[in-house]
Amino acid sequence: MRDKIKDLFNKVDQYIIESKEQAEQFRLMFLSRKGELSNLFNDFKNVAAEDKKEIGLLINQLKDKIQQRYDDAKNNIDNTSTVNTNAEDYTRPGFPFETGTSHPLTIIRQKIISTFENIGFTVASGPEVEDDWHNFSALNFPENHPARDMQDTFFIDEKFALRTHTSSVQIRLMENNKPPFRALMPGRVYRNEAISARAHCFFHQVEGLYIDKNVSFADMKQTLLYFSKEIFGEQTKIRLRPSYFPFTEPSAEMDVSCFICHSKGCSVCKHSGWVEILGCGMVDPAVLQNCNIDPEVYSGFAFGMGIERIAMLKYRVNDLRLFSENDIRFLKQFNAANE
Ligand code: DAH
């Protein structure tokens, strides 16, 4: 027993404790319930009565030594780790990580899409490089229509141009599918315009198309009223002014009651109480025929609006160029969650 205790004294002295793991190993080996110290106390029962005093003293000295060694080592390790400058400081305040925001045009486009999705419209798309047929001819544009002029259209060659409106997607949709149609077609369009606060050589539109049996002008009006209330507020009124588009007959331009001054008169509505939002009309029978749809059986309406225009009105942005300049000070002011 005496030899065993002596051995353990040496072992404790020589044990290397430099890390938390080693300290734990040490604790397990000497101090735990199945450790060396506990074994010694067990064996102590068998020590002869006359030796008990001496051996008991030795075991207690050993116990103190082990405890001391363990405490010192742990203190040492803890201290060195707090002065370790590489360690993370979990108490330090976090960095203000800035999250990105959606582009204002994305926010408005999504809002328009979800408004129409709620009443059963699906989203369709078409190419930005378009041929004459889809962009003009099939939409009933006469041969000498000014929109076909070089001054308005970016031609790529004899046959192809950058689409001047998203109405071309109507044709692609109707050519390749069977009615009924209830589709929304967002996309970028191009026009040969000098860039200014009010005009740009590219901008974005959303086209809508609804074709079925027995679709009337009243259906169009109701659909557009629903849309206007969703976008500009429940109190919004609409009015339709007669207009002309080659691909619709009759055609109209739609105004909404000014949501800024509530039609009392302001600079946005130019004191008229109304702001123009979109073009619309009943799809011309000639257009249906161009897509092999029988106008005797089917009828429907179409509409088209500029996303920039709606964003400018809603957010009171007065320069169209801001949408494509990528100035973060401008962009970070818009929050999709508010829509
Ligand atoms: N394509 C027209 C434009 O770019 C907008 C438009 C007007 C689309 C009337 C339509 C419509 O579908 O029915 O100005």
Highest mean pLDDT, choosing among 11-25, 38-52, 296-310:
296-310
* Cα-to-centroid distance, 213 and ligand 1 (Å): 22
Q: Which contiguous run of DSSP H or E holds residue 307?
A: helix 307-315
Report how far apart, in Å, the C-alpha atoms of 230 and of each of 34, 154, 195, 227, 302 are: 74, 35, 31, 5, 19
Who wins on pLDDT, 293 or 34? Answer: 293
Q: What is the mean pLDDT of the chain?
A: 93
Highest mean pLDDT, choosing among 71-75, 121-125, 266-270:
121-125
Q: Which of 303, 309, 310 to mutate to test the pocket of ligand 1 (most atoms within 8 A of CB)?
A: 303
Is residue 43 within 8 A of residue 1, CB to CB? The reply is: yes
What pLDDT shows up at residue 187?
98
Q: Which CATH class is domain 104-338?
A: alpha beta
Q: What is the mean pLDDT of the segment spanning 162-183?
A: 97
Lowest mean pLDDT among 99-108, 138-147, 290-299: 138-147
- Check pocket membership of 167 for ligand 1, CB cut-off 6 A: yes
Q: Give the residue whose CA is nearest to atom 6 of ligand 1.
A: 304
Tokens (6 digits) for 105? 């045009």
The overall longest dimension of the chain from CA atoms, in Å, is 127
Nearest atom in ligand 1 to the alpha carbon of residue 207 is 12
Nearest atom in ligand 1 to the alpha carbon of residue 167 is 1
Q: What is the mean pLDDT of the segment spanning 95-100?
A: 82
Tokens (6 digits) for 75? 């203190």
Report how far apart, in Å, the C-alpha atoms of 116 and of each of 110, 172, 185, 307 are: 10, 20, 11, 15
- Alpha-carbon dihedral sign for residues 168, 174, 175, 177: positive
* Cα-to-centroid distance, 197 and ligand 1 (Å): 22
What pLDDT shows up at residue 76?
84
What pLDDT shows up at residue 103?
96
β-strands 299-306, 248-257 pairing: unpaired
Straight-line distance from the first to the last Cα atom of the chain, in angstroms, rounded to the nearest whole number:
83
pLDDT 10s digits, 319-332: 999 999 999 999 99
Is residue 185 within 8 A of residue 167, CB to CB? The reply is: no
Q: What is the mean pLDDT of the segment spanning 28-50?
A: 90
pLDDT higher than 60, residue 84: no
- Check pocket membership of 245 for ligand 1, CB cut-off 6 A: yes
Q: What is the mean pLDDT of the segment spanning 119-140?
A: 97
Lowest mean pLDDT among 41-55, 89-103, 258-272, 297-311: 89-103
The domain spans of the chain are 2-86, 104-338
What pLDDT shows up at residue 175?
97
What pLDDT shows up at residue 82?
53
d(CA 213, CA 282): 13
d(CA 215, CA 243): 20
d(CA 82, CA 104): 49
Report how far apart, in Å, the C-alpha atoms of 234 and of each of 220, 238, 268, 303, 313 are: 18, 11, 19, 21, 17
Q: Is 306 helix (H, G, I), strand (E, B) or coil?
A: strand
d(CA 163, CA 304): 14
Question: Is this prediction's pTM over 0.75?
Answer: no
What pLDDT shows up at residue 156?
95
- Check pocket membership of 248 for ligand 1, CB cut-off 6 A: yes
- Alpha-carbon dihedral sign for residues 139, 141, 147, 150: positive
Lowest mean pLDDT among 46-55, 154-163, 215-224: 46-55
Who wins on pLDDT, 95 or 57? Answer: 57
What pLDDT shows up at residue 96?
81
Model confidence band, residue 1 (pLDDT cutoffs 50, 70, 90): confident
Strand partners, 228: none
Within 10 Å of residue 228's Cβ, how many Cβ atoms? 21
pLDDT 10s digits, 207-222: 999 999 999 999 999 9
Q: Is 43 helix (H, G, I), strand (E, B) or coil?
A: helix
